[in-house]
Structure 1
Amino acid sequence: RPEQALKREIKEELNVEVEILRLLWQQDFEYPQKKIQISFYHCRLLSDEGQIKPLEVADFRWIFVAEFPQFNFPPADAAFIKKLTKNFKSLVE
């Protein structure tokens, strides 16, 4: 199941456990070299923020939705980031 894989990856990458609340968005995206399906989930952190340790990622930080435009997200993420920026509260409540 994708949800179990997501929980496992978050544990491996950040050393925290999450509860997956629901699927927010899913879409297919075609890069020149491959086609992917990308899924975005609303998750709840189950452990204390102070325990987050980026084990396999170069950088980790919490940001506000208003800060999204300051970051370069992959093209496959662009549509969802735009939707999340405009409709954050309705998506996660």
Structure 2
Amino acid sequence: MSRIVKSMPGRNATRSAPVSPDTTSDALALALAIDAELSRAAHGHPGFSGAHARCAGDRVSVRYHSTQEPFLLTLAQARAYLVRLQTGHRGPHWEAQEVRT
């Protein structure tokens, strides 16, 4: 199975690649965990309205506001973001990346 990811400036590259069942399972598990954390974070973050995470093949789709286009995170980015959320970070993934560097 292959898929195409549409590119948006500054977000994700267009690509076509096979998606393995194991990778999809990892993405689903990460999406569910991030979604649960975002549900908790939404109560304390004024910019979060309709925040959620979903599995998107071998990526995790994250949306912070219902009118916003989703961001596609790689599995590595999603894992790092989940760790930050679980340790108290309450903001979007790019703020978590800035803190780590």
Would the TM-score normalized by the shorter structure come out above 0.5?
Answer: no
Larger Rg: 1
Structure (1/2) with the larger strand percentage: 1
TM-score, normalization by structure 2: 0.27
